Structure 1
């Protein structure tokens, strides 16, 4: 027995030693790719020395020496991006190329297939020649900087450049100018949501018995009504009135956003007359899906036109949002209707032909081979009509709205082979004043954005990006999939840039956008029917109007505001007949819990604070209420409405145009009232809370449910590793607060914060160097780096770091200075 015990001890000890050695080896190999920020190096591709000073937040400040050109500075940015975000850059490029399956196998084939069909990378390659000479030089120099880092990794055996490369080993091709343009097109895809809305509107039309109810569940933003549309079944007779399950690639690497999770943002500016310091102010926080690392990367470049500082995107040689000494710029998603689905009628005699206004025409087709790791390659036939690429029926449930003998194609402004958006971005960054910036915006194609500007004297807002020109006789007005063979439905080019909404130096001295409706114009000059916000704008207006003058700190306060206008407006409606009307109930019963919940909500001010119980009770109640209201009318389609639509709830409980009909359960004999539905939904919510968080309502914390999910797209699902690479944080805010944290809507954690402000910046032009910014994770994409998540807690607490162009300040606490000399041949 003793002998057996000794051998067991020896084997256990040996196993532990092997595990420790294995972990040590893994750490050693992974740490080899940690960049050295403090060094002198000679690299090819420079005309003069470049210095990269990394301040104490690891923000690179890139300077060229005497005789250096702007191209040398762009080289430095490419090198810095590749030091900190190489894996992220290669993933973005592989995604847009449709080449993920070469690394990840069959699980990403659907993503690759969809990207190949859109052909974004080929369009990016063709767009290179459309750039102006300065932009082409910047793209070339930036690529040289990235490739110089790749060469350094290979020559010095620097751990393959990123720890992920050990797990998913694949060759890295040299960076090219087309890659940067392709990354910008990929951002357009991530920020676009009109396609999903068109398909869902058609599917909802097909399943609703009463077409009058469509504007309840898919309401227009408040304003002048829209002219009546034809029923979708009238456009395409023979379609079945049912809803199939929609499908989009669910992998974390998918760039196809679920409905409601496309782009969003806040941006606002104050003129000098509305500023306490007599200098213009600007605040911006773009919202995108959260990830680790975040998509944003802070950087400063010293160009011939002056210093610029702000947020860049790895792969793109431009400050996308930020400031110079003279100008600040911020963006929000404009929600321009820049996508249309066309239903193409196939020739019954030849399915390779489709009907056009001039008769049948052959699709433009070509094969595309997808290489799949550990599997046989597959060959796709990519088909394009005159309207755009043909899409598979599985995408967003397209098959449910596509009749037999037809296929669906996509018209989208980003499908341009002369896309000059990169030239516009670099020109904007070099602009010296608002007028220069407005001129630069004309060349922007996609993604369409609301650009807000502030120089020393002027504030302005302009919608940039292509706006399709539609015929006034368009059958669906761009709101539904349309008959592609009818001339009046087809796009007629691009609307003039001058027709895009523009506001310069408004009388009130305040400009802003929360993705809300900008203006009311009749079709076809309407800009959009689908807007991203009808709620946050009310709270923003109140905060802006309650002060005669604003400061940097008041703009920060607004950016971090967590009071829900939606909660304040809806709770009195849905609880009107429930407050203080219940009978006495025994402790521990559901009836007693209902009393407690109503009591808490009746005294709540609507603040979605992470430490309070009321936000969780409110959100669970509203979610359960919407589910009860729609499930009998929409059946399986109800699962597509993952987020509470405040306008729908308001219409129902105010009985706008008979909307209270949603409250009656059609399958039951009694006629339920909206009060009945509110009471039953509250019980549903409390049962769910009890099962998930316990029965002590007063001790609930909204932040436990509303955790920000900064997850690594690839390693975030790997056991053990996920604890090192994922960043989870308790957060305040919610779906409709200015500090927006959009919930996932997906069980089992429907309130996880998955879409939020990955960047915040506030710029004060009375003292530009007092400006501040922050990102949601950190500068490094290397999970062993201390800069991987060092900004995460600052971001969660609503703190910022200085956004200064002061050279001495950057050097004073630098974590490293990299001096790059031209390599002498």
Structure 2
């Protein structure tokens, strides 16, 4: 027996030793790809030494003796820290994810191949001006220099993920950078899905008048009545597809539900409204959270001076930031740059579709999708004069496409002469607001509101190509229209002067929270869909509460967690519930409801992570909307998984008969809106009890509102997920300036999945006091200390300095890389 014990002990000891050795070997292999920031390297493609000084936050300050050399250095730095991210972005837009991930991503690849974005990006290279083409070439050469270094020195394939998903990495091309900008347009687009959803809701509702409740137009718009979708397409809705995985479900999918199709905040103050006497600018673009974040901080020393701010790995431009003379900020404009068309097939020849001039053949192309461990799939791509033909599974298009028809898409991102990259280059070199506005003329997609300041002026301009529509367009772009009707087709692009513009307002303040910016009649309306109808009121209150502003007051506004929505809706939905005068025994649902109402009645609407009231409020609103719409919309109610404040307000203010939503159609009694509010609160409390316990006073919003900075590939791998994912308790909510958009999906509907991955505040009276931060860190390597070193700063609302002073960057640098030309 003793001998057996000794052998078992030896075996166990041997297994432990082997495990330790295996972990050590794995760590050695993975750590080989950790970049060395303190070195000198001889490279081809530069004319003079390039110095990359990384400050103590690992932000690279790149000094080249020409613009070309500086962009070369940026390409090298991006590839050092974010190679895997860059490769994945490129594979995504090329429709080549399945070569690495197998059949799980085939649907994404198929849809992106139909758009043809990468082909259009290649065609757009020649549309750039000479300086931009030179910058793209130099940037690509810098990325490829890093790839060569990885191969020559066996640096762990460049990133840990490369060991797990072994696939060759092709050299970087100029078209790759343009393609990534087009991919951002995919992520920021919501009009296609909104059109489909508008049509589906029109078909589902018994009373067409109720469509304006569930899909309301932002207040102030004078849209005329639209035809019912069934009147345009009598047989729409007859097609039903088998339930398939949603193309938006995969972490690598660039297609986002409309609730996550881009948002942002930006505001500016003129010198007269600034305590320091200089202009002020703040920006926090909102995108889906990930680890690493999409943003990468960098400073470039160009021939026109230094620029610093947020870049996107793969793109050689500071997309939001400042130079010594100009600051620029971006917010999603929600311009309606997509129109969906239903195309009628020729009954005699399904290879033709109807146009205003008669039937014409589709333009077709065959595309082969290679799939890991499976046979390749050949896809036939079809294009009409309006745009590419999309599959019926995309955003449930089949449900609104009658038999004998297909759907196609017109979209500004499908331009083969996309000069957005040239516009971004011009913006970095601008010496004034006027120069920056002129650079924005060449911007195509994705459409943005560009907020600008120089030392004297402030301005905001919607940039991006705005489709020119006919005044008789039958759906006005709000839902799919007939592709063979001439009046429904685009008539080119509106002149840049037609895009909304605001300069030096009398009040000295400008801002945008994705709110409606103009009230113009169709077809110059810009959009019927806006990203915010709530945050703007809180922003206006904060801006008007001070005669003059400072950098710190702008920071306070960025970090503000008070919900205007909670303050305005709670008195409405709880009007007959607050003080009923009824006694309820302890431990009963009635007593729990009273306790919840007591807490909410004394709450100021602050969505603070440490408070219980935000969780009670959020759960109540979610349950309330579910109660209101489920009986009317059926399964389609799943698409409305975020409470819409405008919808709830219309119902409880009984606007134009909207109170009809309160009556449950399947029940005999006629329920009032007070009944529904009470039942919804009970639903919410049951859900809270099941998930967080019955002690309401001890609830924490932050326990439910966890920010999910997850690795898009490794984030679901057991054990490894604890090393690569970053989770944080956070304040804010769907409608606060410190926006933390919730997932809306069970079992964790209040997880914070979408928000400000970048924040920057720029003070042009003292530019070196400007600050910025990102949500994770500079490195994409999860073994690097810079993988998540900014995450806690970001969560606490802290920032790091933004300086163009070279000596400050060198003072506490984590390394200096010198790239020398090969002799």
TM-score bracket, normalised by the shorter chain, equals over 0.9
May I ask how many residue pairs the two structures share in their alignment?
A: 821
Separation in 2, partners of 1:357, 1:636: 37
2:105 maps to 1:111: no
Separation in 1, partners of 2:517, 2:22: 58
Pairing partner for 1:124 from 116, 121, 124: 121
CA displacement at 1:5 relative to structure 2: 2.2
Separation in 1, partners of 2:502, 2:237: 46
- Find the counterpart in structure 2 of residue 368 from structure 1: 367
Separation in 2, partners of 1:152, 1:383: 42
2:215 maps to 1:218: yes
Contact 1:110 1:249 in 2 (8 A): no
Separation in 2, partners of 1:321, 1:689: 40
After TM superposition, list the pairs within 5 Å mapping 1:470-619 onto structure 2.
470-581=469-580, 583-619=582-618
Deviations 1:323-375 (A, max 9, x none): 01100000000000000100010011111110000011000001000000000
CA displacement at 1:4 relative to structure 2: 2.6
CA displacement at 1:580 relative to structure 2: 2.1
- Find the counterpart in structure 2 of residue 63 from structure 1: 63
Separation in 2, partners of 1:203, 1:499: 32
Pairing partner for 2:188 from 183, 187, 191: 191
Contact 1:243 1:636 in 2 (8 A): no
- Find the counterpart in structure 2 of residue 709 from structure 1: 708
Contact 1:207 1:242 in 2 (8 A): no
Deviations 1:37-59 (A, max 9, x none): 00111111111100000000000
Separation in 2, partners of 1:453, 1:231: 42
CA displacement at 1:6 relative to structure 2: 2.1
TM-score with structure 2 setting the length = 0.99
Separation in 2, partners of 1:628, 1:649: 11
- Find the counterpart in structure 2 of residue 24 from structure 1: 24
Deviations 1:612-665 (A, max 9, x none): 000000000000000000000000000000111000000000100010000000
Give the gaps of 5 or more residues in structure 2.
none
Deviations 1:456-497 (A, max 9, x none): 000000000000000001000011101001100000000000
3-state DSSP of counterpart to 2:45:
coil
Contact 1:203 1:243 in 2 (8 A): no
- Find the counterpart in structure 1 of residue 731 from structure 2: 732
CA displacement at 1:85 relative to structure 2: 0.2
3-state DSSP of counterpart to 1:716:
coil
- Find the counterpart in structure 1 of residue 99 from structure 2: 102
Separation in 2, partners of 1:239, 1:742: 33
After TM superposition, list the pairs within 5 Å mapping 1:48-59 onto structure 2.
48-59=48-59
Separation in 1, partners of 2:56, 2:816: 11
- Find the counterpart in structure 1 of residue 301 from structure 2: 302
Deviations 1:599-624 (A, max 9, x none): 00000000000000000000000000
Separation in 1, partners of 2:588, 2:281: 52
3-state DSSP of counterpart to 1:686:
helix
3-state DSSP of counterpart to 1:238:
coil
After TM superposition, list the pairs within 5 Å mapping 1:587-736 onto structure 2.
587-736=586-735
- Find the counterpart in structure 1 of residue 284 from structure 2: 285
Contact 2:52 2:63 in 1 (8 A): yes
Separation in 1, partners of 2:821, 2:396: 54
TM-score with structure 1 setting the length = 0.99
3-state DSSP of counterpart to 2:16:
helix
- Find the counterpart in structure 2 of residue 12 from structure 1: 12
Contact 1:413 1:466 in 2 (8 A): yes
3-state DSSP of counterpart to 1:374:
coil
Deviations 1:389-445 (A, max 9, x none): 000001111000000000000100000100000000011111010000000001000
After TM superposition, list the pairs within 5 Å mapping 1:30-45 onto structure 2.
30-45=30-45
- Find the counterpart in structure 2 of residue 388 from structure 1: 387
CA displacement at 1:241 relative to structure 2: 7.5
After TM superposition, list the pairs within 5 Å mapping 1:794-813 onto structure 2.
794-813=793-812
Separation in 2, partners of 1:238, 1:643: 30
3-state DSSP of counterpart to 1:443:
coil
Separation in 2, partners of 1:336, 1:793: 35
Separation in 2, partners of 1:155, 1:513: 49
Give the gaps of 5 or more residues in structure 1.
none
CA displacement at 1:229 relative to structure 2: 0.3
Separation in 2, partners of 1:768, 1:616: 40
Deviations 1:646-691 (A, max 9, x none): 0000000010001000000011000000000000000000000000
Moved beyond 4 Å, runs of 4+: 241-246
Pairing partner for 2:69 from 51, 57, 72: 72
CA displacement at 1:585 relative to structure 2: 1.8
Separation in 1, partners of 2:652, 2:95: 47
3-state DSSP of counterpart to 1:260:
helix
CA displacement at 1:239 relative to structure 2: 2.3
- Superposed CA RMSD: 0.9
Contact 1:206 1:242 in 2 (8 A): no
CA displacement at 1:11 relative to structure 2: 1.7
Pairing partner for 1:169 from 166, 171, 174: 166
3-state DSSP of counterpart to 1:480:
coil
Separation in 1, partners of 2:537, 2:704: 26
2:212 maps to 1:202: no
CA displacement at 1:592 relative to structure 2: 1.3
Separation in 2, partners of 1:35, 1:586: 65
3-state DSSP of counterpart to 2:380:
strand
Separation in 2, partners of 1:736, 1:143: 40
Separation in 2, partners of 1:653, 1:241: 34
Contact 2:252 2:712 in 1 (8 A): yes
3-state DSSP of counterpart to 2:321:
strand
- Find the counterpart in structure 2 of residue 756 from structure 1: 755
- Find the counterpart in structure 1 of residue 274 from structure 2: 275
2:210 maps to 1:238: no
CA displacement at 1:3 relative to structure 2: 2.7
Deviations 1:104-140 (A, max 9, x none): 0010000100110000000000000000000000000
CA displacement at 1:2 relative to structure 2: 2.5
Contact 1:414 1:445 in 2 (8 A): yes
Contact 2:239 2:403 in 1 (8 A): no
